[in-house]
């Protein structure tokens, strides 16, 4: 079952520059930068109340983030919803006709389990399901 919105992922070209801009906007410090080799991405997070904004910088030209920026420019990349059991949720979504990018969870930021649903299945929005 989806319990809450976990975070918004924002694709950026330059993590340092974007972090400084968001630091000024939110008047708070970001998390330490985390490198996620499997996803070819560097991540920093800002926690605002109970919400999290995740800044994503691709680490190679073939990373999903770099490809996204090349095609659409910087901006909102995905919305993530948290689940207590990602495997059950992925099965439910697939059975309900949603097209999954990941049939099995991958390791994401903060060692969360993550999987993505194709945007065309959800009104053009790249959707991540995640579990702590």
Query: 97-122, pLDDT tens digit by residue?
Result: 999 999 999 999 999 999 999 999 99
Asked if 107 and 113 count as a contact pair (C-beta separation under 8 A), the reply is: yes
pTM of the model: 0.95
* Whole-number pLDDT of residue 58: 98
Nearest to 53 by CA among 8, 101, 85, 97: 8
SS3 for 118?
Answer: coil
CATH number of 2-131: 3.10.180.10
Mean residue pLDDT of the chain comes to 97
């Amino acid at each position: 079952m989806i319990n809450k919105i976990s975070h918004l992922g924002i694709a950026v070209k330059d993590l340092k520059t974007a972090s400084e801009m968001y630091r000024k906007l939110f008047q708070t410090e970001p998390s330490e930068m985390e490198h996620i080799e499997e996803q070819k991405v560097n991540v920093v997070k800002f926690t605002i109340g109970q919400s999290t904004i995740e800044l994503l910088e691709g680490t190679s030209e073939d990373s999903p983030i770099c490809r996204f920026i090349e095609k659409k420019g910087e901006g909102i990349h995905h919305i993530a919803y948290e689940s207590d059991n990602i495997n059950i949720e992925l099965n439910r979504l697939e059975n309900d006709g949603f097209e999954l990018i990941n049939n099995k969870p991958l390791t994401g930021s903060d060692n969360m389990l993550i999987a993505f649903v194709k945007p065309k299945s959800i009104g053009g929005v790249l959707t991540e399901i995640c579990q702590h």
